[in-house]
Amino acid sequence: MSSPLSIGNGAAAKAGGSDAIDSALQRLLQAVGWDDVGLAGVAFCTALLGAGQFRLVDSAAAGVLLARHLGVRGDRVGVGLRVPPIVLVDADARQVRVLQPLGVPEATTGLLDAYVSAEAWSSADWQDNWSRALALLDAKLVSVRAADSLQQAVIRLERAERLQRALFAIADQANTDRDMSEVMATLHRIVGSLMYAENFYIALYEPSRQIVRFPYFVDVADADVPDPAREFSLQELYRSMTWHLITGGKALRGSAEIIGKQVEGPIVEMGPDCVDWLGVPLLRGNQVVGGIVVQSYRESERLTEQDQALLTYVAQHILTALERRRAHEELEQRVAERTDALREANRVLQQQVLERQRGERLQAALFRIAELANATDSLEEFYAALHRVIGGLLNARNFYIALASDDLGELRFPYSVDEFDHERRTRTPGRGLTEFVLNRGTALLVDRSGIERLTTSGDVTSIGTHSTCWLGVPLICADKAVGVLAVQSYSEDYGYTLRDQELLTFVSYHIANALERKRNAESLKSAYAELEQRVTERTAELAAANRDLREQMAYRESIERQLKHETLHDSLTGLPNRTLFLERLELALDRYRRDPRQPFAVLFLDLDRFKVINDSVGHLVGDDLLYEVGGRIAGCLETGDVAARLGGDEFAILLQDVSEPERAIHFAARIIDSLNAPIRLGAKEVFTSTSIGIAQASPRYSKAEELLRDADVAMYRAKAEGRHRYALFDERLHQEALRLLEVENDLRRAIARGELEPYFQPIVRLSDRSLVGYEALVRWRHPERGVLLPSEFLPVAEDSGSAEQIDWQMFERVCAIAPALTAQGGFISINLTARHFRMNELDRELFAILDNNGVMPSRIRIEVTERALLENPAQVMQILDGLRRRGISVALDDFGTGYSSLSYLHQYPLQALKIDRSFVAQMRPYDDGSSSAVVRAILAMAGSLGMQVIAEGIETEEQQQALEALGCEFGQGFLFGRPQPAEHWLGSTLD
């Protein structure tokens, strides 16, 4: 029997039976290179046409072998076998040929020719062997495929690990403290570890400025490396590949020719030609902010699509690292700038603290100097105390005072302390430094060389031990130099400065005034021994009061500084202040408008006769009283109620859930009872009471201030009814409030129509009742109500801000009639409100009116209140000095009713004091009561200061006699004439 299968170049197989088939299958497997691990795979394509017949199978069915004995139909070719493609061809000659598959090396290519007879094909052994060969073939394919997949997975894992390490390294650069150039070099090395990046640069783009920088640029072929700090305009890079990268916003790869096909327009080459160029944009969102470029000059180093994808991915991480690093550097820069700013602010603050401390020392020294005239028993003690005060301001180890005689024929040294010249004798004025300052009337600061120049020029003659630095200032009294205040140093280590000169000059004015007062007091001492004793006692009392007053002022200033930092609570009582109370009241009003079932009430209270208590026991005790009152009010509150201190002795309470007035009335009674109990403050027991106004919520209220205003009105009604009680705001009070509003409206119209006019009350010399002047008083000639007194409309004018307009109208009308009223001499006093002194141009406006009406300034006297002096002392002093220099005199009105006048009298240029009518009303001849004692003290003090004194409100002969007995020279009141229009006084003679 012939062999069923022949192998090799078309020849029949010589072997027999199944061995021949097995041998043929083994050769078949070897021929297709099945044992080669690099084989991509093999597929067999075949179809059964009939018994033992094969034909060409379409390669689309590659990978499938159909065996007739498996019962697979021809239309199922290509289903179910996991083998890559190769083509197996069967010809009519029954030859099987294995062709070269994709990915199989040339050495593994084999050619198999097999002739299969019909009889052999039908052999069961042959078919079984062929089936087993197919099964082995399929298993081998699966094994090779799995090994190949594993190897590819290992390669991908290694690549992913390298990329991850690179990204971690890039992220670390954002937090390093190295220089930016080192950071970018590190980024270059990181990119180089992932791909070819020998030539590498980074371009950063600022879209808002159209500016490009190259902070990092490494290129082996390009010697023209741009400066990292240089900024290129985008136009300078026009049409370059970098320009296309930034403006196009997409990655570019290839040679210049290839990239030219990827972009619109031509490419302008800059730098050496490269074989390959790869650039990827740096994107912040959708905005291009730069690019990273890698280029190659070698054919062996081509940049692939995989490199492009890698660089694109890495670029965004590099951008993130660079921006974080830049943000970190900007933050460090801002911190440094802020630190510098804080350091400078601290320096300025320290300077301000030093200036304030210096100012406080100077103020204390001035107060002390003002006290010395009355606080020392002798001139020697006065000079020694003065030396100590000046020693607290500057180096006064060597100090002396020189005084010239009235005829300038003698120069005395009443006080001298010196390290070398222990005694300075009285001498005839010569050419010493002291005489040089005295004659010139100006301060002199010279060092040793300056003294030598003055000596050489003959201006001075050296007297006594030579000093290294000498400072002298004149003592000026009545615009005349009467002496010299001098300090000097014998040490090269210490000298004086221009600041010391300014300080000593400023202090010298106060010293001169104090010295003049002391000398006057000494000159009167021998003639009025008894009077001097009483004045000394009173001066001591005034000094003690002055000290108490300074303490109170210091405490008040401290409170004011604290209040600047407190916006919601009162620093004294701890209660809410006006701002917080109005906020809570506004919220309650809003709730009530939304839901009338949430009613409430407002209580406004202040302490009865608090000012009397305050003035009698002192403001510190008054503050303690307010603190205790605040605590007692707070103790009466219930949950939800709010109590506040509005200012001074005024308090307000917000009561919640007040559907009926009885609850508010009951609460007010509790407050009154609580405050009626005695209050112990230290060793003192103080009694006080309160008046309370109550206003209930009503639909007519639209603002919180309206409720508070009506409660205030009700409180004043309670005071008017006798104090120590409460009053409900009702329709009657509402009508009163409307009346005040009507008065305000009428007053505005009256100002516009000129219905306000001056009345004049004479001021006389008490000894003979001769006329010395008038005080101009405002009256309102109302078209319906007749002539109204100031008390009926001035409070409304003060509240509405119309008082200043009234003052200016009065000043115009007074100046218009002044030439006629003062034709025989005398002056006219005009009252000015405190608000005027807030204007820097007050004096300019006044003198303009005087000039327009031809009035001499000496015919006008301005009357001011203590309140005006206290609002802005520096500005008020400047304005009053300006008025005095131009001839207008100034009087202090209602003297004795305030608490700060004594401490300010010596500072302001005042020519007269007006004793308040409250002191005059109680005076009787030969009555040495408290009013007489106060008036006597005021007259003594005014006499020592060279001021006139005018008593107000004289209505009886007894009051005039009592004032004359005390030495009061001038007065005014109904006894001498009631206020009348100017026409009355022009047509009559004062009786």
pLDDT digits (tens, 9 = 90+) for 88-108: 434 333 344 443 333 333 333
E strand spans, 673-725: 679-681, 684-686, 689-696
Residue 686 has pLDDT above 50, yes or no: yes
How far apart CA 331 and CA 336 sit, in angstroms, is 8
Least confident range from 46-60, 138-152, 721-735, 786-800: namely 46-60
Domain 570-729 has CATH 3.30.70.270: yes
Candidates 584, 574, 850; CA nearest to 708 is: 584
CA atoms within 13 A on the CB side of 335: 6
Taking residues 321-325, report their average pLDDT.
77
Between the ranges 197-201, 458-462, 735-739, where is the mean pLDDT highest?
A: 197-201
Q: What share of the chain is helix, strand, coil (3-state, %, to 5)?
A: 50, 20, 30
Question: What's residue 758's pLDDT?
Answer: 96
Residue 118 vs residues 51, 114, 123, 195: alpha-carbon distances, Å: 6, 13, 9, 61
pLDDT digits (tens, 9 = 90+) for 27-70: 444 544 444 323 333 333 333 223 333 333 333 333 333 332 23
pLDDT over 70 for what percent of the chain?
79
Question: What's residue 148's pLDDT?
Answer: 67
Three-state secondary-structure class, residue 704:
helix
532: left (phi over 0), alpha (psi -120 to 50) or beta: alpha
Three-state secondary-structure class, residue 282:
strand
Question: What's residue 400's pLDDT?
Answer: 92
Q: 846 versus 99: which is more confidently predicted?
A: 846
Q: Which CATH superfamily does the domain covering 389-523 fall into? A: GAF domain (3.30.450.40)
How far apart CA 224 and CA 660 sit, in angstroms, is 94
Residue 2 has pLDDT above 50, yes or no: no
In this structure, the strands spanning 287-296 and 276-284 are antiparallel
Question: What's residue 175's pLDDT?
Answer: 63
pLDDT over 90 for what percent of the chain?
25
Three-state secondary-structure class, residue 427:
strand
CB atoms within 10 A of CB 360: 11
- pLDDT-derived band of residue 902, with 50, 70 and 90 as boundaries? low
946: left (phi over 0), alpha (psi -120 to 50) or beta: left
SS (H, E, C) 771-829: EEEEEEEEEEEECCCEEECHHHCHHHHHHHCCHHHHHHHHHHHHHHHHHHHCCCCCEEE
Residue 348 has pLDDT above 50, yes or no: yes
The whole-angstrom distance between residue 878's C-alpha and the CA centroid of its chain comes to 31
Q: Which CATH superfamily does the domain covering 746-986 fall into? A: EAL domain (3.20.20.450)
How far apart CA 802 and CA 791 sit, in angstroms, is 14
Residue 666 has pLDDT above 90, yes or no: yes
In degrees and rounded to multiples of 5, residue 57 shows phi and psi of -105, 135
Q: Where are the domains of the chain?
A: 5-148, 180-333, 389-523, 528-565, 570-729, 746-986
How far apart CA 974 and CA 951 sit, in angstroms, is 12
Taking residues 556-567, report their average pLDDT.
69
Residue 989 has pLDDT above 70, yes or no: no
Question: What's residue 364's pLDDT?
Answer: 72
Question: What's residue 132's pLDDT?
Answer: 64
Taking residues 740-751, report their average pLDDT.
85
- pLDDT-derived band of residue 581, with 50, 70 and 90 as boundaries? very high
Question: What's residue 122's pLDDT?
Answer: 52
What is the length of the chain?
A: 991
Please determine whether the domains at 180-333 and 389-523 fall in the same fold group of CATH.
yes
Residue 316 has pLDDT above 50, yes or no: yes
Four-way CATH pick for 180-333: 3.30.450.40, 2.20.25.160, 2.30.110.10, 3.40.309.10: 3.30.450.40
Question: What's residue 851's pLDDT?
Answer: 93
Mean pLDDT of the chain: 78
SS (H, E, C) 61-97: HCCECCCHHHCCCHHHCCCCCCCCCCCEEECCCCCEE
Question: What's residue 829's pLDDT?
Answer: 95
How far apart CA 429 and CA 463 sit, in angstroms, is 12
- pLDDT-derived band of residue 144, with 50, 70 and 90 as boundaries? low
Residue 585 has pLDDT above 90, yes or no: yes
Residue 111 has pLDDT above 80, yes or no: no
